[in-house]
């Protein structure tokens, strides 16, 4: 399988090196540019799976770069990496054509998780329908059903169940879930996560072979272990 090709546009040499090195260790091919004009020229001749744009760039800022990329009809996903954290900056970033917005300083773990989520969506390989024990889960329509039982889940309930269903019998960390559902790791969001877990346990309780297990200090595991095996 070919490595996903990433365009990193970052003028800070230290940060650029760190991000490039870490992403290459994760299996990505990274093309690093240090100004907006050079990046635009690369996008006009090269094909990338995803772009990471700093905002405060020489020659052409990241917002203007994204606007030009979209004006030229290029649908490549764009994540902004910036110290500009005001709501107005985030709004401008999304209006410029960004798919995500990550405020510096950020963890590489969070960046990689956000990249993986976007790449799954854009690759067309994202699984949408799941069999979970006796249940059917349609993640696109956020519907969980079994026989006469059917319930429309909230967006976060569906996102959580999808994340767990993709990795049945594996532990999914609390940090990963928080980033996927809320976009950040926050201690106080942990209580909200516990509420969603409780709801899913209630929805899945009719199948005695299904268990949504809390792994202390780590995360959660959706277990599907038929007793007759």
Q: What is the pLDDT of residue 228?
A: 33
Helices vs strands, H then E, count in the chain: 8, 12
Long-range contacts of 28-31 (CB under 8 A, 24+ apart): 28/3, 28/4, 28/115, 29/3, 29/4, 29/5, 30/6, 31/5, 31/6, 31/7
Q: 113-134, pLDDT tens digit by residue? A: 999 988 888 776 556 788 898 8
- Interacting residues of 185 by C-beta distance below 8 A, sequence separation 6+: 110, 175, 178, 179
Q: pLDDT at position 175, please?
A: 84
3-state DSSP assignment of residue 16: helix
**pLDDT at position 125, please?**
58
State the pairing for strand pair 5-9/50-54: parallel
Domains of the chain: 5-123 (3.40.50.2300), 129-224 (1.10.10.10)
Query: Over the stretch 80-118, which tens digit does the pLDDT of each residue have?
Result: 998 888 888 889 999 999 999 999 988 999 999 999 988
The pLDDT score that the predictor gives to residue 174 is: 86
The per-residue DSSP string of 77-94 comes to -EEEEES---HHHHHHHH
Backbone φ and ψ of 55, nearest 5°: -95, -45
| pLDDT at res. 38 | 96
pLDDT for residue 127 = 67
Model confidence at 226, pLDDT cuts 50, 70, 90, reads low
The pLDDT confidence band at residue 205, using thresholds 50, 70 and 90, is very high
3-state helix, strand, coil in the chain (%, to 5): 40, 25, 35
Q: Give residue 197's pLDDT.
A: 96
Going by their DSSP bridges, the two strands 129-132 and 100-103 should be labelled as unpaired
Answer whether residue 151 shows pLDDT above 50. yes
Residue 192's φ and ψ, nearest 5 degrees, are -65, -40
pLDDT at site 185: 74
pLDDT surpasses 90 at 212: yes
Two tokens, residue 38: 């050079």
Cis peptide before 105 (omega within 30 of 0): yes
Mean pLDDT of 24-46: 93
169-190 pLDDT tens trace: 999 888 888 877 887 777 778 8
> What integer pLDDT is reported at residue 47 of this predicted model?
84
Q: Alpha-carbon distance 163 to 120, whole Å?
A: 12
- pLDDT band of residue 36 (cuts 50, 70, 90) is very high
Phi-psi bin for 185: left (phi > 0), alpha (psi -120 to 50), beta? beta
pLDDT of residue 178: 85
* Dist. CA 92–CA 111, nearest whole Å: 20
Are 101 and 63 in contact by the 8 Å Cβ rule? The answer is no
**143-146 vs 135-138, strand pairing mode:** antiparallel
**DSSP β-bridge partners for residue 100:** 79
Percent of the chain with pLDDT over 90: 52
């Amino acid at each position: 399988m070919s490595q996903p090709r990433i365009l990193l546009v970052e003028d800070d040499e230290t940060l650029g090196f760190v991000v490039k090195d870490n992403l290459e260790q994760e299996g990505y091919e990274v093309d690093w540019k240090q100004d907006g004009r050079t990046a635009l020229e690369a996008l006009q001749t090269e094909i990338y799976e995803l772009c990471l744009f700093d905002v405060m760039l020489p020659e052409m800022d990241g917002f203007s770069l994204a606007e030009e990329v979209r004006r030229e009809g290029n649908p490549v996903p764009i994540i902004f990496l910036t110290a500009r954290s005001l709501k107005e900056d985030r709004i401008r970033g999304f209006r410029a054509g960004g798919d995500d917005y990550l405020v510096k300083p950020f963890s590489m773990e969070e960046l990689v998780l956000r990249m993986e989520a976007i790449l799954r969506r854009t690759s067309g390989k994202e699984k949408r329908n799941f069999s979970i024990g006796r249940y059917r889960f349609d993640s696109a329509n956020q519907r969980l059903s079994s026989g006469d039982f059917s319930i429309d889940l909230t967006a976060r309930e569906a996102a959580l169940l999808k994340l767990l269903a993709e990795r049945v019998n594996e532990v999914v960390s609390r940090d990963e879930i928080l980033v996927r559902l809320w976009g950040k790791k926050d201690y106080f969001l942990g209580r909200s996560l516990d509420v969603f877990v409780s709801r899913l346990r209630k929805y899945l309780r009719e199948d005695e072979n299904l268990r949504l297990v809390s792994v202390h200090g780590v995360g959660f595991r959706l277990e599907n272990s038929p007793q007759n095996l």
